[in-house]
Chain A
């Protein structure tokens, strides 16, 4: 699995550097398709997922612990491909949401850090109205028991915050319904037959007048 999806950019990883305690949050993220960000098309088995997760461990800190934080907003040219995009989400740069002290967390405006899986708390700071709708179960998909449903997806599953337009992406529709069967005699023929009858009627009347 690592060879297929990660080795291309990240190179060989020695066995001893793999994580023994697999991070459950990482497994959740792979299962829901949030990780890796460009997505995996095939169905992964439980073992495949654990294998992938053992390479990931804690996410961003893996690299960012060793890199000096640069607070200047700039275009990221030398960064890995998943970091190279044009951010047009408000007038922000990375550290509006990401925590510069600990990259595996988000930073709220009030200064408190929250884990990745609590991301709706981050979104609600600006999108308070839609967050209220979501909490009231009017926005988003809720499944389970009607009297006590659970959210099937969270904000970032449908709205990619790094996209220029985070609206729901267009999808291919299912096939249209069957058209009702056409009449056994084509309608054009019915018109034709009516026209012939009318014409012969006119002829008959004309000859009768003579």
Chain B
């Protein structure tokens, strides 16, 4: 390094560093955050600087040392998910495993404005409603709102019996379907959400402006909005985080299932897969002919939700 460059660097860093971390009054945004590049355009060093800043900010706000990663997608991997609806018993273990793993906001007992966020919603459908109806009843051919004879709008979200599964009931867990042609990505005005090379749709919470267009565009109701600052008890925060995944969100941003990007990019199963007591949830690489997901697609009866919309979900429902 030349002497001149060295002096320049020293002067610049000493002059900018304290200014950059200052927060602009009223909007409460630091200059560093304001001048942050789009995640896809960042170099490795810029990513590192952003991660450092975020870890500092989370330490200030939540008092927890977190470890944020930016692990990129592996070559030759496209993740796919399969769910056996014949086996699902609707116990919601997956829902709460997901909440714990992905740092979703809990309902705070002290703050009535806090909102509880679940990425997975389990729908209970009465089995008698599964009979494909006649055309006069509007079932079977109507566009968009009918899935394999099930009217999803008539399902029960808040079932709470003593024991599950109940007789004559079927359970359909719904989460982000990680579409190959995602309508949510098309509508984003700031390109804060995009499809990664391994097929996962991610959100950059620092770029999301909270317009909620993507929530309106999603036909699966898979996206959730942070109406308030997330409330997570300090001891329940998962410190193993990914920039595009489970790092703690801000108020006014949209979030969604990322197939546990922080786990799957390190070769581990998503939290919901490991939590399912009946083993109804299956996960694997769609490009690997020996993976369980490919075997399911090859050998089982498989359907996808709202296939007629042409969103090409990578989330398959199957039956034995």
Contact = CB atoms under 8 A, between A and B. Distances in A.
A195 interface: no
Interface stretch (A61-69, A71-79, A99-107, A170-178): A170-178
Nearest to B156: A176
Interface stretch (B42-50, B176-184, B282-290): B282-290
A174 B278 contact: no
Interface string A143-160: 111110100110000100
Nearest to A172: B163
B118 to A, nearest CB: 5
B116 A136 contact: no
Interface in A110-152: 133, 136-147, 149, 152
B282 A137 contact: yes
Contacts of A143: 269, 274
Interface stretch (B17-25, B202-210, B244-252, B292-300): B292-300
A20 interface: no
B320 A133 contact: yes
Given A138-B296, A141-B277, A173-B164, A146 B91 contact: no
A163 B165 CA distance: 18
Contacts of B212: none
A179 B92 contact: no
B92 A173 contact: yes
B153 interface: no
Given A171-B91, A171-B277, A146 B164 contact: no
A168 interface: yes
Given A141-B276, A142-B279, A158-B278, A174 B93 contact: yes
A177 B269 contact: no
B116 A145 contact: no
Nearest to A137: B292
Given A171-B89, A171-B163, A173-B161, A146 B279 contact: no
A133 B84 CA distance: 12
A176 B158 contact: yes
B96 interface: yes
A126 B214 CA distance: 50
Interface string B109-150: 000000110100100000000000000000000000000000
Given A137-B292, A146-B264, A146-B283, A174 B91 contact: yes
Nearest to B114: A178
Nearest to A174: B92
B301 interface: no
Contacts of A170: 89, 163-165
A147 to B, nearest CB: 6
- Interface range for A: 20 to 34
B232 to A, nearest CB: 15
Contact of B158 (A133, A145, A177): A177
B230 interface: no
Interface in B184-237: none
A121 B12 CA distance: 70
A173 B267 CA distance: 29
A19 B206 CA distance: 63
A135 B220 CA distance: 32
B292 A177 contact: no
Contacts of A141: 274, 276-279
Contacts of B261: none
A140 B273 CA distance: 11
B158 A136 contact: no
Contacts of B92: 173-176
B300 A138 contact: yes
A136 B292 CA distance: 6
Nearest to B163: A170
B164 A171 contact: yes
Contacts of B295: 136-138
24 contacts: A137-B292, A138-B84, A138-B295, A138-B296, A138-B299, A139-B279, A144-B269, A145-B267, A146-B283, A146-B284, A149-B269, A152-B274, A168-B89, A170-B89, A172-B163, A173-B159, A173-B161, A174-B91, A174-B93, A176-B158, A177-B121, A177-B157, A177-B158, A179-B158
Q: Which 8 A-B pairs have the closest CB atoms?
A: A141-B279, A170-B163, A174-B92, A178-B116, A137-B292, A176-B158, A140-B279, A173-B164
